[in-house]
Amino acid sequence: MEKVDVYDELVNLKATELRLGLPGTEETVSCGKSNKRALLDDTEKEIESTGKNETASPPKAQIVGWPPVRSYRKNNIQTKKNESEGQGNYVKVSMDGAPYLRKIDLTMYKQYPELMKSLENMFKFSVGEYFEREGYKGSDFVPTYEDKDGDWMLVGDVPWEMFVSSCKRLRIMKGSEVKGLGSGV
Amino acid sequence: MNYFPDEVIEHVFDFVASHKDRNSISLVCKSWHKIERFSRKNVFIGNCYAINPERLIGRFPCLKSLTLKGKPHFADFNLVPHEWGGFVLPWIEALARSRVGLEELRLKRMVVTDESLELLSRSFANFKSLVLVSCEGFTTDGLASIAANCRQLRELDLQENEIDDHRGQWLNCFPDSCTTLISLNFACLKGETNVAALERLVARSPNLKSLKLNRAVPLDALARLMTCAPQLVDLGVGSYENEPDPESFVKLMTAIEKCISLRSLSGFLEVAPLCLPAFYPICQNLISLNLSYAAEIQGNHLIKLIQLCKRLQRLWILDSIGDKGLAVVAATCKELQELRVFPSDVHGEEDNNAAVTEVGLVAISAGCPKLHSILYFCKQMTNAALIAVAKNCPNFIRFRLCILEPHKPDHITSQSLDEGFGAIVQACKGLRRLSVSGLLTDQVFLYIGMYAEQLEMLSIAFAGDTDKGMLYVLNGCKKMRKLEIRDSPFGNAALLADVGRYETMRSLWMSSCEVTLGGCKRLAQNSPRLNVEIINENENNRMEQNEEDEREKVDKLYLYRTMVGTRKDAPPYVRIL
């Protein structure tokens, strides 16, 4: 008899409880490793939300593992550029020694020389000449950028389109740090 | 048959390929069991913890090809924490120790380390084929060992793995003498690729039939590669410049035109729609097209492309194709067998008007009579649509519908979708795999239990009202092998109703349901051939044994049948009862 009672207890408690509302909404913290991709997602959300207007509906509660899409796919889906809204591809530009950062729209340029000219005008400096092997020669300043993987790369090495799609921010390096990139000074 | 010498029987067995059939053969009599054992070349292990390597090798000492699956399916959606398990190293070590003549290894959802790849590459002289799907834990250094040491390598197929790219020169590690490659897929590698090394490798691989590139291989390199390998059957395109200059475009088009054997196209990981016309010449030959990573191909570009693909059998696409696009597919692709429509907005942030609805699904079902397999993410559905689909396509083997918003009812009648799914299971007598979504009561499970006689895998999320739902399924679907449930109100009564049932299944997953610790303990009590795992990552919930509250709900339950008892490699937050 005792066994039955224990069983009843196990069974009766919540067997017919109706759940209202989305189950799992308390658990909005995503589990699993906090890898770089997760952080990147947060940054992307930031950029998106500052771009949207106020009347947009609030983001839905994020349910862990929903929709059921493989995390690999979630991390690698190419986000579409919203051409109709003309949002462009704005990246921050910092220059060593400058008091504040600027932002430029990479989609306004068709190739590297245009970009360089614009940067030179913006920060009043000169970037020297680009050589495939040695990098930039003839100036204390070297343009670098942070790519999707978080690495700092020399501007000019990869095809323009590849640069535009992988550039997350620009930094114009100056002085002693520059030697490491083979500026040939 | 008993009057034939063993060699003859063995020869007859050679014609029996399917695992199921070979398993059946081995049960006929002792003599057949023995012959089958020693002649078995391919072994499939659906759950790496159901058996251990030693026993496997003991039974099938002559095996040449091994397929192993590790983590449960819901691990794909981050529901299984890292370090849970599924390590391949002990398997490779055991196979190496016993000098098994391994030639092929196929792994899914397993943890693979550089160490295990290194060991693999050095231990099996005839190793030919490595296929890794949704695995993790290794880097390009591990790939370098495979490239360098596997002299007979024919296939290296990496699908959707998380690989740490050390940007080494793994492609350079293929020796000049390596000319046996038939299939090379590194689309999931994120770093730079030594394109020159790749070109040299492709140039010396005359048997190369399948090549899938990663993002880092640009358009002009693609043209050169295709010129080198006009015999390609399966191509995964990498990156694609935004505006190709006319000369590059012409070069590419010329190269593509020569690839008359091309039947399968995928990739387009970074795409400029303007480059697509280069592929028009071979579209009529395509039987498989995967554009599910190419968010930039939309609207007219996409439709133009699809209109040329009249022989398509398999299409993987994003929902940005819209109902209109699906109508084009329905009108064009009369040979279509498998369709997957993925959500382009996975974070649920945008109010996406271009996504697909029930209209697209009905159109496809009406236009494509050979359709047997579908995965469809959409934002709304109706019973009427599902009933129409069931009528149009009674041949579904796999039907997976994911309505993006949980609990969403029929958007016209506001009713649950029980009747719609009920129609599907009633009409599709051969249905083996089903995923349900939207607002669903116990009724849908009554239908599933009643009609889905061939159902082997069922995925349930945010559905049902009471234990009855789960019971209908367990009692009705005699062929069920994998049942996975999340966020549904099924509890101990359903879990414990027929414990013996679970030994006829591969596994059961229940997360965020109503089962309690006490229920799980009771389940585990008299089931030595079941591993009952409780996964509980929350530090605060880990209490001392004597403080345990048996009424506490279990966060994640994963149980599976096994012949080798409790595994020893579980992390601290996994409790095996």
For chains A and B, CB pairs below 8 A equal: 150
A28-61 residue pLDDT tens: 333 333 333 333 344 444 333 333 444 444 445 6
Rounded distance between C-alpha atoms, residue B551 and residue B519, angstroms: 8
Instruction: Return the residue in A3, A6, A31, A44 with the most chain B beta carbons within 10 A, the one to mutate for interface testing.
Output: A31
Residues of A in contact with B349 (CB under 8 A): 45, 48, 59-60
Instruction: Return the residue in B164, B347, B515 with the most chain A beta carbons within 10 A, the one to mutate for interface testing.
Output: B347
In this structure, are residues B171 and B194 in contact, taking their beta carbons and an 8 Å threshold? yes
> What's the confidence (pLDDT) of residue A51?
38
Pick from B134, B270, B491: CB nearest A15: B491
For residue B105, the distance in angstroms to the closest alpha carbon of chain A comes to: 22
Least confident of A3-17, A62-76, B314-328: A3-17
Q: Do A73 and B77 touch (CB under 8 A)?
A: no
Question: The domain that contains B12 carries what CATH number?
Answer: 1.20.1280.50
B12 CB-near residues (< 8 Å, 6+ apart):
B1
Q: What are phi and psi of A131, to 5 degrees?
A: -120, 140
Residues of B in contact with A45 (CB under 8 A): 347, 349
Pick from A68, A79, A162: CB nearest B295: A79
Q: What are phi and psi of A102, to 5 degrees?
A: -125, 170
In this structure, are residues B526 and B499 in contact, taking their beta carbons and an 8 Å threshold? yes
Q: Do B191 and A149 touch (CB under 8 A)?
A: yes
Which two tokens mark B471?
Answer: 């019971």
Residues of A in contact with B462 (CB under 8 A): 22-23
Q: Do B270 and A78 touch (CB under 8 A)?
A: yes
Which two tokens mark B159?
Answer: 């699908």
Residues of A in contact with B271 (CB under 8 A): 78
Instruction: Return the residue in A161, A163, A164 with the most chain B beta carbons within 10 A, the one to mutate for interface testing.
Output: A161
B447-462 residue pLDDT tens: 999 999 999 999 999 9
In this structure, are residues B354 and B377 in contact, taking their beta carbons and an 8 Å threshold? no
Q: 3-class DSSP state for residue A25?
A: coil
- Please count the helices (runs of H) and the strands (runs of E) in chain B: 20, 23
Residues of A in contact with B167 (CB under 8 A): none
For residue B93, the distance in angstroms to the closest alpha carbon of chain A comes to: 28
Domains of chain A: which residue ranges?
A: 90-177
Q: Do B537 and A159 touch (CB under 8 A)?
A: no
- Indicate whether B508 belongs to any domain: yes
> What's the confidence (pLDDT) of residue A29?
37
> What's the confidence (pLDDT) of residue B556?
95
Instruction: Return the residue in A3, A8, A10 with the most chain B beta carbons within 10 A, the one to mutate for interface testing.
Output: A10
Instruction: Return the residue in B109, B215, B270, B349 with the most chain A beta carbons within 10 A, the one to mutate for interface testing.
Output: B349
Residues of A in contact with B553 (CB under 8 A): 14
Pick from A62, A68, A72: CB nearest B402: A68
> What's the confidence (pLDDT) of residue B177?
92
User: Which residue on chain B is closest to A82 by alpha carbon?
Assistant: B296
> What's the confidence (pLDDT) of residue B566?
92
Residues of B in contact with A154 (CB under 8 A): none
Rounded distance between C-alpha atoms, residue B522 and residue B527, angstroms: 9
User: Which residue on chain A is closest to B214 by alpha carbon?
Assistant: A76
- Indicate whether B15 belongs to any domain: yes
Which two tokens mark B41?
Answer: 């070349």
- Indicate whether B570 belongs to any domain: yes
Pick from A11, A64, A72: CB nearest B160: A72
> What's the confidence (pLDDT) of residue A179?
54
- Indicate whether B415 belongs to any domain: no
Pick from A11, A59, A67: CB nearest B404: A67
- Indicate whether B67 belongs to any domain: no
Residues of B in contact with A23 (CB under 8 A): 462, 487, 512
Residue B177 CB-density burial (10 A; 0-12 exposed, 13-18 middle, 19+ buried): exposed
B312 CB-near residues (< 8 Å, 6+ apart):
B286, B287, B288, B289, B306, B332, B333, B335, B336
pTM of the model: 0.78
Rounded distance between C-alpha atoms, residue B377 and residue A80, angstroms: 18
> What's the confidence (pLDDT) of residue B538?
67
Q: What are phi and psi of B135, to 5 degrees?
A: -100, 175
Q: Do B406 and A63 touch (CB under 8 A)?
A: yes
Q: Which residues of chain B are modeled with pLDDT < 50?
A: none
> What's the confidence (pLDDT) of residue B543?
52
Q: What is the DSSP letter of B41?
A: -
When divided into structural domains, chain B yields a total of 2
Q: Do A23 and B487 touch (CB under 8 A)?
A: yes
Enter the CATH code of domain A90-177: 3.10.20.90
Residues of A in contact with B440 (CB under 8 A): none
Instruction: Return the residue in A66, A74, A79, A107 with the most chain B beta carbons within 10 A, the one to mutate for interface testing.
Output: A66
For residue A175, the distance in angstroms to the closest alpha carbon of chain B comes to: 28
Q: Do A67 and B487 touch (CB under 8 A)?
A: no
How many Cα neighbours within 13 Å face the side chain of B335?
A: 13
Q: Do B161 and A77 touch (CB under 8 A)?
A: no
Q: Do A67 and B343 touch (CB under 8 A)?
A: yes
Q: What is the DSSP letter of B230?
A: T
For residue A55, the distance in angstroms to the closest alpha carbon of chain B comes to: 13
* Residue (of B335, B340, B347, B336) closest to B321 by Cα position: B340
Rounded distance between C-alpha atoms, residue A136 and residue A150, angstroms: 22
Q: Do B402 and A70 touch (CB under 8 A)?
A: no
Residues of B in contact with A46 (CB under 8 A): none
Q: Do B82 and A33 touch (CB under 8 A)?
A: yes
Radius of gyration of chain B (CA): 25
Q: Do B466 and A16 touch (CB under 8 A)?
A: yes
Query: How are beta strands B136-139 and B288-290 bridged, if at all?
Result: unpaired
The residue among B275 and A16 whose pLDDT is bigger is B275
User: Which residue on chain A is closest to B488 by alpha carbon?
Assistant: A23
Rounded distance between C-alpha atoms, residue B217 and residue B36, angstroms: 46
- Indicate whether B29 belongs to any domain: yes
- Indicate whether B360 belongs to any domain: no
Residues of B in contact with A57 (CB under 8 A): 351
Q: Is the pLDDT reported for residue A16 higher than 60?
A: no
Q: What are phi and psi of B339, to 5 degrees?
A: -130, 130
Residues of A in contact with B343 (CB under 8 A): 67, 69
Residues of B in contact with A11 (CB under 8 A): 491-493, 496, 519
Pick from A69, A72, A162: CB nearest B218: A162
Q: What are phi and psi of B37, to 5 degrees?
A: -55, -50
User: Which residue on chain A is closest to B538 by alpha carbon?
Assistant: A31
Q: 3-class DSSP state for residue B108?
A: strand
Pick from A7, A57, A70: CB nearest B351: A57
- Residue numbers of the domain that contains B553: 497-538+549-576
Q: Do A159 and B241 touch (CB under 8 A)?
A: yes
How many Cα neighbours within 13 Å face the side chain of B199?
A: 13
* Residue (of B179, B183, B122) closest to B149 by Cα position: B122
Residues of B in contact with A77 (CB under 8 A): 293, 295, 318, 344, 346
Q: Do A31 and B78 touch (CB under 8 A)?
A: yes
